[in-house]
Structure 1
Amino acid sequence: MSEISRRHLLLAAGGALLASPALVLAERLLTPAQTLGPFYPDQLPLDRDNDLVQVEGQAEPARGTRVQLHGLILDGRGQPLAGALVEIWQVDANGIYLHSRGGDRQRRDPGFQGYGRFTTGADGRYRFRTIRPVAYPGRTPHIHLAVTLPGLPRFATQCYIRGEPRNARDGLLNAIRDPQLRELLIVPFVPVTGQVDEQVARFDVVLGATPAS
């Protein structure tokens, strides 16, 4: 399937990506790693593009609030990393993963892709269309994100919603003891002006390793 750019998705933050205060902070602090988790898809979907809310062959789109998730993949000096494979996966609106043990399969939303991927260009940017994550027993809402660069092991982390009350009780999030580092994983999910049930979230990832040349 075509990528979001061919579906005329407009990112609300657009041209401001390279000039925001978040980028200045990103030059100083590396993104904390988190577990890949037990629910990375054990069988990848046939449709694995960066639009998770519309599955090829499914008439109905995903249930849930639409989210434009985007950001930059950077090195420790704040320079963009090209050729980074960015993967995301998360539960659907019913709290079910795209995994054989990820919940009640009968309740899984067939209109939600559950997994997507995007390869960064020279600007280091990635973008996805997905849904606002929901909670499930034992976890606050989150989106899993992994980055793989040529010659380097896969880096995994998770993106959380700023202002979500369950964050304070999430054991995995709060295992990051340094509050400044913990805050790097918590980002605003902001309503898109003029759109109903659509939000935008920016999540930059800063890696300490340098890819092989």
Structure 2
Amino acid sequence: MAQSLDRLKESPSQTAGPYVHIGLTPNFCGIGGVYESDLGSTMVNGETRGERIELRIRVFDGAGAPLKDALIEIWQADANGFYNSPAELRGAADPSFSG
């Protein structure tokens, strides 16, 4: 008897961008002078306030196979609820946090 295949619901596809890997990690890709350090290379330091959390994420294709080249974009507020963004008008974000 044939066994039915459980299909995973696929999320919508998106083209690469606004940051392809070169835009995220120009120093790693040998392109200097764009950023002092690559985005996300240092998110917290000893002065960063707030609770530390760790995310472990796996992305699967529609057949259930894990993807090796998926990009997950997250944006998290600092311990005071402020975002590191020019659009943040409520106050200054913690300079020792880039989440």
> Considering the TM-score relative to the shorter chain, is it more than 0.5?
yes
Give, as a single letter, the amino acid of the residue that structure 2 aligns with 1:49.
G
Matching residue of 1:49: 40
Instruction: Provide structure 1 residue ranges, at least 5 long, that are not aligned to the other structure.
Output: 1-24, 33-43, 115-213
CA distance in 2 between partners of 1:47 and 1:111 (Å): 15
Change over 3 Å in CA distance of 1:66–1:83 after alignment to 2: same
Would you say 1:102 and 2:93 are equivalent positions? no
Structure with bigger helix share is 1
Does the CA contact (< 8 Å) of 1:53 and 1:113 recur in 2? yes
* Aligned-pair CA distance for 1:105: 4.0
Instruction: Provide structure 2 residue ranges, at least 5 long, that are not aligned to the other structure.
Output: 1-5, 13-34
Provide the alpha-carbon RMSD of the alignment: 3.0
CA distance in 2 between partners of 1:86 and 1:45 (Å): 22
Give, as a single letter, the amino acid of the residue that structure 2 aligns with 1:29.
K
**Number of equivalent positions:** 73
* Aligned-pair CA distance for 1:99: 1.0
Matching residue of 1:113: 98
Superposed CA offset, 1:89-148 (max 9, x none)? 111111111210123343x1111112xxxxxxxxxxxxxxxxxxxxxxxxxxxxxxxxxx
Larger radius of gyration: 2
Change over 3 Å in CA distance of 1:76–1:45 after alignment to 2: farther
Superposed CA offset, 1:149-178 (max 9, x none)? xxxxxxxxxxxxxxxxxxxxxxxxxxxxxx
| Identity across the alignment (%) | 39
1:155-194 residue pairs with structure 2 within 5 A?
none
* Aligned-pair CA distance for 1:65: 0.8
Structure 1 length-normalised TM? 0.29
CA distance in 1 between partners of 2:58 and 2:42 (Å): 18
Does the CA contact (< 8 Å) of 1:45 and 1:113 recur in 2? no
CA distance in 2 between partners of 1:50 and 1:84 (Å): 18
